[in-house]
Structure 1
Amino acid sequence: MSGRDTLITRKYEQAPFVNMPTGYGYEFEYMGPSREFFQYMFHFNRRKGEEYMPGLGWTTMYDFFLEVSPSESLSLSVFYQEHEEDDWLNWIQENLLATYDMKQRVTVAGLNWFKGEKHELRVKAQMVAFTARNPMPFLADQFGNLNTSPKKIAVPPITLSDLAFQIRYRYELMPLSYLYVVYTKGGRVVGIDEEDSLRKIYKRPWEDPQTDTFTVKLRYRF
């Protein structure tokens, strides 16, 4: 479906919307049988835009999910996604927008472990690496058209990485009284460099975190 994106220009009066072409594509999804020990899923799609949001260029995305439960007290899971998009449209300011060659990688992993009713250990990690290259600036007009600028406008590339990592241990001292030990690390790093290795971009917030804390908390019911 074709239509208008009325949100991307942030209600700028001189360019209240951007016209979008017809969206179409295909997708494939497979969900494996659910078993006591493991379950998994795979998904792939290639399309222009989404079901209710057309896009300018082709998007290719695949992801998979796997969960393994060696026992009733232990489970491990991982979700992985790769996403590439041609002519990804991004708002810069006012009626200035730009298209990019976009790539994104997302990894989400988790571990849950229990021992009786006393011990509980949870580990969660989410990592995002994002790049937007070869920017092409455009000026939107009041009719929703994207026009090339008569003047050369410098638009930088985008490099972004995001990390959220936490280890949480809980020990039950007595009913409704707990000891918590929590380690948290994460943050977001945004740059305008040309690093294209998503693996290296993953590491940036780990090496230069905005949050790196260790907390011990006691919750005691009298």
Structure 2
Amino acid sequence: MTRIETPWGPWEAAPLDEVVALMRGLAAPWWVAGGYAIELAVGHPYREHGDVDVALLRRDQLAVRRLLDGWDVHAAVVPQTLRPWALDEVLPEQAHDIWVREHPDGPWRFQLMLDEADGEEWIYRRDPRIRRSLAGLTVEEDGFHRLAPEVQLLYKAKGARPKDEADFEAVLPLLSDTQRRWLDEALETEHITHPWRERLRRMA
């Protein structure tokens, strides 16, 4: 794993299998997100990863915080600002990005993302018009779940970086007609002129 320096200390991401092993202790739904969600859909490594992202529903936040009792856990409550997340504290609605490390002097090891839901329906936090059944949000992978690639690409579409473009290129040929159509319609809602839309339609 690459070591990345940040204003809040270095990132040295834990191996994915170690994070998965830890999260198996959570008695609530969770799933691998970020670049690893795309790589798992592709089926083989094709780029380096600077972090490990795991997502869960906001309503399960206290369960994951208790799982991480003994870890150093910080939440981004204000953009570009981290502060400690106390045990049994309910985070404010604007907090959805959480950094985790073993102890305050060590590097950050993985990231948690809090997702929104209404009953059994997932709500895209950047545009609540975009929704999806929780049952179809993830794909099971070797006994754990990963975020469906078309949903992860929606997150990556905003201000797409070179690594996001690489993820789009890698998984695009593997998307079904239904997955491409869902992503195209979601992009039409949030990013109507996004360049990925034309490439999605060309694959049809």
Q: TM-score range, shorter-chain basis?
A: under 0.3
Counting strand residues as a fraction of each chain, which structure ranks higher? Answer: 1
Q: Higher relative CO (CA 8 A, sep ≥ 6), structure 1 or 2? A: 2
Counting helix residues as a fraction of each chain, which structure ranks higher? Answer: 2
Which protein has the larger Cα radius of gyration, Structure 1 or Structure 2?
A: 1
TM-score of the two chains, using structure 2 as the length reference: 0.22
